[in-house]
Structure 1
Amino acid sequence: MNFLRHKIRKALNFWKRKGVKGFWEKVYYGFDEDLENLYYQKWIKKKDCPTDADRQIIRRQISGFSDKPLISVVLPVYNVEEKWLRLCIESVFRQIYENWELCIADDCSPNPLIRQVLEEYATKDKRIKVNFRKENGHISAASNSALELADGEFVALLDHDDELTEDALFYVAEKINEFPETEMIYSDEDIIDESGRRYDPRFKPDWSRDLFYSVNFITHLAVYRTEILRKIGGFRIGYEGSQDYDLALRFIEQIHEKNIRHIPRILYHWRAIRGSVALSGDEKPYAHERAREAIRSHLERTGKQAKVSRTVYNLHRVQYDLPPQLPKVSLILLEKENFAATKQAIETLYEETDYQNFEIALVCSAEMKERFSSKTFARNVKIIVCEKKSEAERYNSAVLQTDGEVVCFIDGNLRPVSKDWLKEIVGFALQTKIGAVGAKILSAGEIILHGGIILGINDFIGFAHRGFPKEFSGNLGRAQVVNNFSAAAIDCLATRREVFQTAGGFDAEHFRNKLFDVDFCLKLREKNLRIVFTPYAELVQVDKQKLLNIQKNPTVAERDFFKQKWQNVIEKDPFYNPNFSRRNESFMIDV
């Protein structure tokens, strides 16, 4: 009986984490296997096992590089087991790209074997430099000592028990040759256990500022332009445990985001041993609060007023402060199927919103307007008569007839889960580099319907983490933390009025009832404005029989024009790793 209870509990927990789709896949493969890692082992065999022929191709490519930058691998060492240290150093020796140097700082390790091993390797190859510190200063000081040895144009960070893939520095050099203005590079990574088994891959998006504030997804492999590293003073004492996070936050303050490059390949193996964060994020609990302090400091330096707090999985939540004089928000919704449903939708919004300065603008027909009187609602509702049939036209008309600094389009079939939902959205919408904000939308059964929009799913679009329970963490925790996507859905979409007007509003000519929201967001992306998804603004579908916009299909004409206009970005969504399957929006590895 205890065994059965254990199996049932395990199955239910898996359903909560992975959703219906993942649950049935797990049933097929068995609950004693990890499905994701089963897929990953298949992926490794199929796509990540270089052959001698592959190595020859890489060497030919290297010979053709116009620039062969010296890459300094910075390695702080302290009292690590000899076998892990040797594997770490050997992984640098195995690099197919040979223009590297290994800059090691031993942080006064009490184990005499450490010195012996480092001296042994230093005599083998002149590219190895070692600084034996006379006193222990911890990770930041040791990293700075190693950095002092670096002569390379770029610095790559390596921990003393981890490993680089043999092609890691080649792909770094390739990226530098492709984009000479590159200042910072990061790659995907995985975890490697004591037996050498690889698992838990971290397939990352391209640069995503708001995700970076939620979780340090840069981690490994991280490569920085040396000149800028020295300009910011290297690693800061007092941020041990999150020194790399703090370093990256200070580094990005000095550069343009276009010079941050992502290599969507596994180039780094993070060792999971006792005491390692790779084994458990709780191994260094002090690191989490230091990370949040690093984010606070960064936001202060960049002139942002915000609170930074702990959220799920010890990740981070940034809440931007609202100004003392709250900006007016125009909540725009379209009439529903009848008077009673429309009235209920408006009353629900008033009851479930604690933001103090907003208006509700109802877009309806003249016939519907006649049903309303000045006594229909406890508070004023702006009635906008628009007989135009397309949703895009009606929304455009409503924006012209309202005056809120922030415009928030919302479906009347949605109910906010918490009353502070609009405060959350407005905080992001007011940020100058953010173009639009989307919310987490759940079905009546609390299944995710919208967690951001992904391009390229089945050669079209998809909704991130759709079909999974609301507690589902998602890729890198993205279903539960603030992050960026290419677009967000009209069902709950906020933007500043000036942004909406500058972008020309919704394209009602080509997208009458669908895709005008995605098209709008992509226009904002072209203007280098971010699209933010926040799970802290959560809305639930009230009547599952009434479809939301995200549940409807576009016309053939809308779909065809969209694909023609945005084909280049559909083929490569920067916020959806190319190693994920395009057959659905579940972030499953493509095998």
Structure 2
Amino acid sequence: MLKLLYKAAKPYIYPNLIKSMTYQEKSSTGTLVQNQKLTLHSAFKPGWYMLELQAKGSFEVANLELRFADSRGVPLVVRPNKLIKRVMYLPTQMGQASVDVHAYGDFNLSLLRLVPIKQDFAQARMLKRLSAHPLINQAKLLARLEKKAASTNLAFSQVVLAAYNRLFAKVTDADYQRWVEELEPEQLEAYELELSQQPIQIDDYWVFVDDDFVCYEGSKKLLTQFLNQHPTAVLAYADQDHLDAYGHRCKPWFKTDWNPDLFLAQDYISNCFVCKKGWYLEHQALFNTLGVKGALAVLLPSMPSSQILHLPLVLAHRRQASKQLNANADLKARAEILQEKLTLASVQPCEQGLKVSFAVPQPEPLVSLLIPTRNGLEILKACVVSILEKTSYKNFEIIILDNQSDDAAILEWFKQIQLEPKVRVLPFDYPFNYSAINNFGAQQAKGSIIGLINNDVEVISANWLTEMVAQASRPEIGCVGAKLYYSNGQIQHAGVILGLGHVAGHSHRFAERNSDGYYGRLKLVQNYSAVTAACLVVRREIYEQVGGLNERDLAVAYNDVDFCLRVRAAGYRNLWTPHAELYHHESVSRGEDDTPEKKARFDKEVAYMRATWAEELKNDPCYNPNLSRLREDFALREFV
């Protein structure tokens, strides 16, 4: 009833406040970044409110901060034409508010409304949001919130509000300090209890800690016990952070599980690890010759994942005063070792690590690029022309899969573009089913490598296909994904992370174009559990081995994630490369899932993924359980 009253009252009683706002500041940086400061003059009584906000413009995402008088700002993330709602609480009467806007592209705030709501309704909405992820145990969540309220003598609703607000706020060092003090002891206790049950001979293991790091004896013992619990493994490593000038812990690095291609580009293990003494002695000559870092660089890439373990606890701490004076020299030395000892085309130092290149097989394999479309001449033409004119790799064909186009202009263009020897247009005269369309295209393809390409993709780097083919031709590699940007240059895709949101999310989405990402990951080749089919390359034999895309259960959403997981289950590693760059003008051709029929279909596909890949969605080995399940920016995991 409260919800019905809230919905019925707002249009009539609580007006849009935009007309009451004035521009205090407005500036632009370059051609894309727009900063605004708007001021609102209106009286608001103390109490609970539902904030409603909507904006229009050519931006992909905008970051806003709403601030009342001297109160702490409320961060808001806005997508164009999307209505967002946030529960707010005003402790005292407010007469003025300001909105700070940071947007990439043209931004115009079109709706701002504050609707008074009851505390019970506010609390229910906040608890629903806090428990939105399917892996969150609601009973445990409530128990933690109640315990927090009791220990702090705060009202339960205020404890819920604080946890709710942290879902949207930027993570700070203070949040990590809370993590260290409140959550980490529980994690350590749980692991210690589990691992202490197994008998161990400490002398059978050796622990290595870099001179710049601190690893306490209890942490060394815990890491050793963890390795001891897995008889087939030979090495284990943990997460790390920094110690500031006062000895306070900060800047945590929550690492992936064993990630062979990331390790080639970035040594994220040798700073602190434990290994079996027998394994070390077996390779002692190599350790003596190359040193610890060099020996690991040579030995680990060829080892099965079952032999290299990751304990997701922060057990190593880098001294803040330490300086990597020889960082460039170390990187160059590692590049030379990899070049000499492994079969690689080239290894060169790059931003954040190494760029490891592999050779394209000779003769160059034919690549069949499949591009489904229905009308949309403007975006399709830009896509096809950019591939034909900008791609340095020459042995490819383009198969345009026409899904019932009826626009006269594009039908005429189909006739013209097929005069180009590399291009074919094939009709697919059935209702839209992305999986079925691509499976049909793969059957008609002549190439030994299949490329799935959205019609709203546009080439940036000439070597994009060379890079993707070189990676996809490696026997151990399955699907290869590219670095995709929105039209304004923000990151659209940099690998897919399982378990984010409904099913999966895009790594680093909306990050700035030149951002290094989380500990350099936006600049380095690495393995991900899945990559988007907006630009995906895979060997035809693998595509056929796993049966192509799932056209029965996943006609539109998550078919690429499902496909990648089946490829991984077949024994291949999926890979993302930042050295293949394209624009992706996302979902321009198909639009949003905004009708009851589309929403029902989407919900069904989500249910299928959660049922089929339940265990995989719980813990992505290319991510970390200590990182957010709701955000795509590698923020610290949400906790009460």
Fold in common (TM above 0.5): yes
Deviations 1:414-465 (A, max 9, x none): 1111111100111100011111001111111111111111111135211111
- Asked if the contact 2:493/2:506 (under 8 Å) is kept, the reply is yes
d(CA) in 1 for partners of 2:249, 2:430 = 57
1:127-162 CA distance string (max 9 Å, x none): xxxxxxxxxxxxxxxxxxxxxxxxx32211023453
> What is the match of residue 321 of structure 1?
359
1:333 matches 2:371: yes
Q: What one-letter code is carried by the residue in structure 2 that aligns with 1:262?
A: H
**Unmatched runs of 5 consecutive residues or more in structure 2:** 1-28, 34-59, 76-169
1:437-495 residue CA offsets vs partner (Å, 9 max, x unmatched): 01111111111111111111135211111111121211221112111111111100110
Deviations 1:353-389 (A, max 9, x none): 1111000011114766964336754334122222232
TM-superposed deviation, 1:567: 0.7
Q: Which residue is 2:505 aligned to?
A: 462
1:485: which partner in 2?
A: 528
Which amino acid letter does the alignment assign opposite residue 64 of structure 1?
A: Q
Aligned-pair distance for 1:530?
0.8
CA offset at residue 25 of structure 1?
11
Alpha carbons 1:415, 1:541 under 8 Å: kept = yes
Q: Which residue of 2 is the match for residue 526 of structure 1? A: 569
Whose RCO is larger (CA < 8 A, sep 6+)? 1
Cα distance in 2 for residues equivalent to 1:548 and 1:452 = 22
Aligned-residue CA RMSD in angstroms?
3.5
Residues 353 and 421 of structure 1 are in contact (CA less than 8 Å); yes or no, is this contact kept in structure 2? yes
Residue aligning to 1:101: none
| Structure-1 separation of matches of 2:387 and 2:456 | 10
In the alignment, residue 568 of structure 1 is paired with which amino acid? E
The alpha-carbon deviation at position 404 of structure 1 amounts to 0.7
Identity among equivalent positions (%) equals 25
Worse overlay, 563-572 or 335-344: 335-344
Contact 1:465 1:585 in 2 (8 A): yes
Q: Distance in 2 between matches of 1:58 and 1:539?
A: 44
**Partner amino acid for 2:200?**
K
Shift of 1:223: 1.4
- Over 3 Å counting, the alpha-carbon distance change for 1:420 and 1:336 in structure 2 is farther
Distance 1:25 1:400, change over 3 A: farther
In 1, Cα distance between the equivalents of 2:525 and 2:192?
Answer: 41
Matched, 1:310 2:349: yes
Task: Tell me which amino acid in the other structure corresponds to 1:44.
Answer: V
Residue 365 of structure 2 aligns to which amino acid in structure 1?
P
CA distance in 2, matches of 1:543, 1:570: 24
1:70-101 CA-partner distances (Å, limit 9, x unpaired) = 1xxxxxxxxxxxxxxxxxxxxxxxxxxxxxxx
Counterpart-to-counterpart distance in 1, 2:376 and 2:605: 28
Q: For residues 393 and 631 of structure 2, what CA distance do their matches in structure 1 show?
A: 37
Letter of the aligned partner of 2:361 in structure 1? P
Question: Of 397, 401, 406, which residue of structure 2 is paired with 1:359?
Answer: 397
User: 1:48 aligned to 2:184?
Assistant: yes
State the SS of the aligned residue for 1:585.
coil
Which residue in the other structure is 2:153 paired with? none
Gapped regions of structure 1 (runs ≥ 5): 1-7, 13-18, 71-151
Which stretch shifts more, 327-336 or 378-387?
378-387
Which structure has more strand as a fraction of its residues? 2
- Superposed, which structure 2 residues align to 1:377-388 within 5 Å? 377-388=419-430
CA contact (8 A) 1:21 1:468 kept: no
Identify if the C-alpha distance between structure 1 residues 332 and 160 changes in structure 2 by more than 3 Å, giving closer, same or farther.
closer
Which of 201, 205, 219 is the matching residue for 1:154? 205
Q: Aligned partners of 2:317 and 2:405: how far apart in 1? A: 65
When structure 1 is superposed on structure 2, of 346-355 and 371-380 the one drifting more is: 371-380
SS at match of 2:424: strand
In the alignment, which residue of structure 2 is the partner of 1:567?
614
The partner residue of 1:244 within 289, 292, 304 is 292
Partner of residue 477, structure 2: 434
Cα distance in 2, alignment partners of residues 296 and 397 from structure 1: 41
Write the mapping of 1:247-266 to structure 2, written as runs, cut at 5 A.
247-252=295-300, 255-266=303-314
Corresponding residue to 1:394 among 421, 426, 437: 437
- Deviation larger for 396-405 or 163-172: 163-172
2:284 match: secondary structure: coil
Q: Determine which of 495, 499, 512 is the counterpart of 1:452.
A: 495
CA-CA distance at 1:542 after TM superposition: 4.8
Equivalent residue of 2:415, what SS?
A: coil
Pair 341,583 (structure 1): closer, same or farther in 2 beyond 3 Å: closer
Q: Does 1:188 align with 2:227?
A: no
SS where residue 457 of structure 1 aligns? coil
- The letter for the 2-side match of 1:68 is I
Structure 2 distance, partners of 1:583, 1:536, is: 28
What is the distance in 1 between the residues matched to 2:377 and 2:192? Answer: 71
Measured at CA, do residues 563 and 297 of structure 1 come closer, stay the same or move farther in structure 2, by a change above 3 Å?
A: same
* Alignment correspondent of 1:68: 200
Distance 1:25 1:563, change over 3 A: farther
Question: Does the CA contact (< 8 Å) of 1:187 and 1:263 recur in 2?
Answer: yes
State the shift of 1:251 in Å.
2.7
State whether residues 444 and 544 of structure 1, in contact with CA within 8 Å, keep that contact through their aligned partners in structure 2.
Answer: no
| Cα-to-partner distance string for 1:166-202 (whole Å, 9 max, x where unaligned) | 5323432432343211111111011224532222211
What SS is found at the alignment partner of 1:517? helix
8 A Cα contact 1:190 1:198, kept in partner = yes
Amino acid at match of 1:416: V
- 1:558 equivalent among 605, 615, 625: 605
Task: Say if 2:412 is the partner of 1:346.
Answer: no
- How far 1:244 sits from its partner (Å)? 3.1
